[in-house]
Chains A and B, each alone.
Chain A
Amino acid sequence: MYQIVAEIELAPNIKQFRINAPLIAKKCMPGQFIVLRTNEKGERIPLTVFEKDPGEGTITIIFQEVGKTTKELGRLRTGEAIQDVVGPLGTPSEIRNYGQVVAIAGGTAAAVAYPEIKALKLVGNKLITILGARSKDLLILEEEMRKYSDELYITTDDGSKGHHGFVTDVLKKLVADGKKIDMVLAIGPAIMMKVASEITRPFNIRTIVSVNPIMLDATGMCGVCRVRVNNEMKLGCVDGPEFDGHLVDFDQLMARQNMYTEKEKESLHAYEAKMKK
């Protein structure tokens, strides 16, 4: 069992948990993730390690309550425990000095991008960060991002803060303005990563994305997270989650992400009905 030692509500339905997991805290690198299972009847879901504190023996995760498992997880309180936490999983990000990096992060994926942005900054990269959300109240990690960024752009889909539009609009403008960009890190919904990759492709700008396929064991034994990269089959859980955005088949990724949409609704409805009783 893995105890929750602190909880914060970052935004409506977006929560941050600090979890006691000393071994993972010692080993985890930027780009890696954990898989957790809330209880005996639970499913296994992947979540990025947002921060680690090896001294305290804790890792921090950030999640949005979107379905049954994340809602159930969100009901847990400090002092309570998560049944299973396994990690670190996945291949760590390639952290080196690229020069000028543009990092774009949409929605809760800001929590996925943050450890890498921080690491890239600490090895000497110049960071332009574009942080977006659907609206102002769903925007998370603005202060943390500002700390590690040389420039920070905010976008909201509804225009309630910063640029009215998408993170990719700002990227497009930076590219069009001829800004020197050595690497783009795009982390967020698959469609955003696809658009970002299309923006940089004609300019041949190295673009790294973090794919988010469905996962089960996340140790390479089932293949549900398979992604077509450069026409080869890769496993998101072990070969990734980061790949060259210009080589990823995003359409297939998106189709496969939707595989269980109906079942997910069914599970959530059953849970909500149970909670009402």
Chain B
Amino acid sequence: MPKQPIVERIKNFNEVALGFEPDQAIMEASRCLQCQDPQCRRGCPVGINITSFCGYVREGNFDKAISVIRESNSLPAICGRVCPQESQCEAYCAMGQTGSPLAIGALERFLADYELKKGITMPSIAPITGKKVAVIGSGPAGLTVAGDLAKLGHIVSIFEALHTPGGVLAYGIPEFRLPKSIVAAEVDYVKRLGAKLETNMVIGKIFTIDELVEMGYQAIFLGTGAGSPYFLSISGENLNGVYSANEFLTRCNLMKSYLFPEYDTPLIVGKEVVVIGGGNVTMDSARTALRLGVEKVHVVYRRSEQEMPARREEVLNAKDEGILFNFLTYPLRLIGNSRGWVEKVECGMMELCEPDETGRRRPVPIPNHSFTIDAQTVIIAIGQGPNPLLSKVTKDLETDRDGRFIADEWGRTSKRGIWSGGDVATGWADATVINAMGTGKRAASSIHQFLTTGQW
């Protein structure tokens, strides 16, 4: 797929990947083997009929192609951009065994963008059932549930704590990977399906779950995500200039700090930045910092490149853009100056030993081996857990050790009438947008069954 040239893109927040032109899309779709027993579809958490839409693209029938995608996926412009296709649909593509797999994500994105440009055709919506559903959180899981249930004629209200909907799509994933206009358009689509969206509503504070039940919501879906950042618990962590990735990205993406002082929210980045972690959030933070005019951005990751959970494509983009990688390295402490600002990161080295329970080789510190990296800004991107706000006030909802709501394969929690999905629910080690949507899809079908049959 064509991309913005490196020298230009590191100076702006515009989208890096530019997307297919129609003839490129047709050419790419023509490579699809139209397998009799397509494996690609199994690799898609929401089960898009990939061979079918590729067949239509090959014929140049983009309208029909996007309608095939829309049957399974309410947010194709987002998924086509941020899904880790290399470990999902594209990993199962037969073409991949001998050469490069079909660029399924790029084709999905092409179709979604094509449709957004010409105006989305709304699907038929079932007659109003009169059943009320509350969806807590407007991230990918919540939007999927809301869209699916609104289509089925239920009265859906989405409650969002922030002032802008989209969850991680709005505050986490940067503009250069996922333009916010695309997120707004996809949210608008869900609203046009009939779902009502209320922002500035912190559920647990403004209403409890029990109050929502009293208000007549017959089903409630909790899709509140994993928005509570983990910190390192090392010395110097509270120095000025030390950010959680959530804070750093929220300032940039949601509050548009990169346009300060036109926008009011400030952000301070030094000449040298260290980002700690190895996931997509690490890559997003590092590449965002770079675009703020930073001289050097270092990534500090305790395992080797191979174990990085970040998308391969984004790691390569980061490398192309000049991000410096320190593998098998971990922070020992953050060192500050006399004014309380961070100045250096003292790092230790690791070596890899036998695999742990996640199957990745466990890093073990090498004793007496440390060095420092100069950094006036440190971004901690070592993961996040669920926000305990809701579980704290909902006593009869079971959670696991990490505070995730315990949910079965249909998203049903320990409390009748309450479902959960996405990053806040158990069972999803792979915290991706598409998996959140997958859990949302199953929860929506389970909720629909409950609302129509009363069966739990």
Please give the residue numbers on chain A whose beta carbons come within 8 Å of chain B beta carbons, in ascending order. 23-24, 27, 37, 41-44, 68-69, 83-89, 216-217, 219-224, 226, 228, 233, 238, 252, 255-256, 258-260, 263-264, 266-267, 270-271
B residues less than 8 Å from A258 (CB atoms)? 240
With known contacts A42-B264, A221-B228, A88–B247 Cβ distance under 8 A: no
Specify which of B199, B228, B237, B266 is in contact with A263 (CB 8 Å cutoff).
Answer: B266
Q: What 11 new A-B contacts, CB under 8 Å, besides A256-B240, A263-B267?
A: A41-B263, A42-B264, A44-B163, A84-B199, A216-B247, A220-B228, A222-B247, A233-B238, A238-B389, A266-B266, A267-B266
With known contacts A220-B387, A233-B231, A267–B250 Cβ distance under 8 A: no
For chain B, which range describes its interface: under 10, 10 to 19, 20 to 34, or 35 or more residues? 35 or more
A-B contact count (CB 8 A): 113
B residues less than 8 Å from A264 (CB atoms)? 266
Interface of chain A, helix or strand or loop or mixed? Answer: mixed
A residues less than 8 Å from B205 (CB atoms)? 27, 87-89
The closest CB in chain A to the CB of B229 belongs to A223
The answer for the CA separation of A220 and B238 in the assembled complex, in Å, is 16
B260 within 8 A of partner (CB):
yes
The answer for the CA separation of A84 and B160 in the assembled complex, in Å, is 12
The 19 sampled A-B contact pairs (Cβ below 8 Å) are A41-B256, A43-B263, A43-B265, A44-B255, A86-B163, A216-B247, A217-B162, A219-B161, A219-B202, A219-B227, A219-B389, A220-B227, A220-B388, A221-B227, A260-B266, A263-B261, A266-B266, A267-B261, A270-B261
B residues less than 8 Å from A222 (CB atoms)? 229, 244, 246-247, 250
CB–CB A84/B163 < 8 A: yes
The answer for the CA separation of A264 and B162 in the assembled complex, in Å, is 23
B429 within 8 A of partner (CB):
no
Specify which of B229, B241, B260 is in contact with A267 (CB 8 Å cutoff).
Answer: B260
The answer for the CA separation of A260 and B261 in the assembled complex, in Å, is 13
B residues less than 8 Å from A221 (CB atoms)? 227-229, 246, 250, 387
Chain B 250-288, CB-CB to A under 8 Å as 1, else 0, gives: 110001100011111111100000000000000000000
B residues less than 8 Å from A24 (CB atoms)? 206
The closest CB in chain B to the CB of A72 belongs to B264
Nearest CB of B to A79, in Å: 21
B residues less than 8 Å from A89 (CB atoms)? 202, 205
Top 7 closest pairs, chain A to chain B, by CB: A263-B266, A222-B247, A255-B340, A43-B264, A221-B227, A86-B200, A43-B265
Interface of chain B, helix or strand or loop or mixed? Answer: loop
B residues less than 8 Å from A42 (CB atoms)? 264
The answer for the CA separation of A226 and B238 in the assembled complex, in Å, is 8
Nearest CB of A to B394, in Å: 15
A residues less than 8 Å from B256 (CB atoms)? 41
CB–CB A266/B261 < 8 A: yes
CB–CB A216/B200 < 8 A: no
B residues less than 8 Å from A256 (CB atoms)? 238, 240, 340
The answer for the CA separation of A87 and B203 in the assembled complex, in Å, is 10
Please give the residue numbers on chain B whose beta carbons come within 8 Å of chain A beta carbons, in ascending order. 161-163, 199-202, 205-207, 227-229, 231, 233, 237-238, 240-241, 243-244, 246-247, 250-251, 255-256, 260-268, 339-340, 387-389
A residues less than 8 Å from B267 (CB atoms)? 263
A residues less than 8 Å from B229 (CB atoms)? 221-223
The answer for the CA separation of A270 and B259 in the assembled complex, in Å, is 13
B residues less than 8 Å from A85 (CB atoms)? 200
B residues less than 8 Å from A86 (CB atoms)? 161, 163, 200-202
CB–CB B200/A223 < 8 A: no
The answer for the CA separation of A222 and B231 in the assembled complex, in Å, is 10
Nearest CB of A to B277, in Å: 15
A residues less than 8 Å from B241 (CB atoms)? 259
CB–CB B389/A220 < 8 A: yes
Nearest CB of B to A60, in Å: 18
The answer for the CA separation of A68 and B264 in the assembled complex, in Å, is 8
The answer for the CA separation of A88 and B207 in the assembled complex, in Å, is 10
Nearest CB of A to B44, in Å: 29
Specify which of A23, A41, A84, A223 is in contact with B264 (CB 8 Å cutoff).
Answer: A41
With known contacts A89-B205, A252-B238, A263-B266, A83–B227 Cβ distance under 8 A: no
The answer for the CA separation of A216 and B260 in the assembled complex, in Å, is 15
The answer for the CA separation of A89 and B202 in the assembled complex, in Å, is 8
B residues less than 8 Å from A84 (CB atoms)? 163, 199-200
CB–CB B240/A255 < 8 A: yes
A residues less than 8 Å from B202 (CB atoms)? 86-87, 89, 219
Nearest CB of A to B273, in Å: 16
B residues less than 8 Å from A266 (CB atoms)? 261, 266
The closest CB in chain A to the CB of B240 belongs to A259
The closest CB in chain A to the CB of B256 belongs to A41
CB–CB B163/A83 < 8 A: yes
The answer for the CA separation of A221 and B266 in the assembled complex, in Å, is 18
Residue among B163, B267, B388 having the largest count of chain A Cβ atoms under 10 Å: B163
Nearest CB of B to A73, in Å: 11
The answer for the CA separation of A83 and B243 in the assembled complex, in Å, is 27
The answer for the CA separation of A69 and B265 in the assembled complex, in Å, is 10
The answer for the CA separation of A12 and B75 in the assembled complex, in Å, is 51
The closest CB in chain A to the CB of B340 belongs to A255
The answer for the CA separation of A222 and B388 in the assembled complex, in Å, is 13
The answer for the CA separation of A270 and B261 in the assembled complex, in Å, is 7
CB–CB B255/A43 < 8 A: yes
Specify which of B162, B163, B201, B247 is in contact with A223 (CB 8 Å cutoff).
Answer: B247
The answer for the CA separation of A44 and B162 in the assembled complex, in Å, is 10
A residues less than 8 Å from B244 (CB atoms)? 222-224
B residues less than 8 Å from A233 (CB atoms)? 231, 233, 237-238
The closest CB in chain B to the CB of A2 belongs to B200
The closest CB in chain A to the CB of B233 belongs to A233
Nearest CB of A to B168, in Å: 10
The answer for the CA separation of A220 and B204 in the assembled complex, in Å, is 13
The answer for the CA separation of A15 and B97 in the assembled complex, in Å, is 69
The answer for the CA separation of A270 and B446 in the assembled complex, in Å, is 54
A residues less than 8 Å from B238 (CB atoms)? 226, 228, 233, 252, 256
The answer for the CA separation of A226 and B207 in the assembled complex, in Å, is 25
CB–CB B264/A259 < 8 A: no
Nearest CB of A to B176, in Å: 21
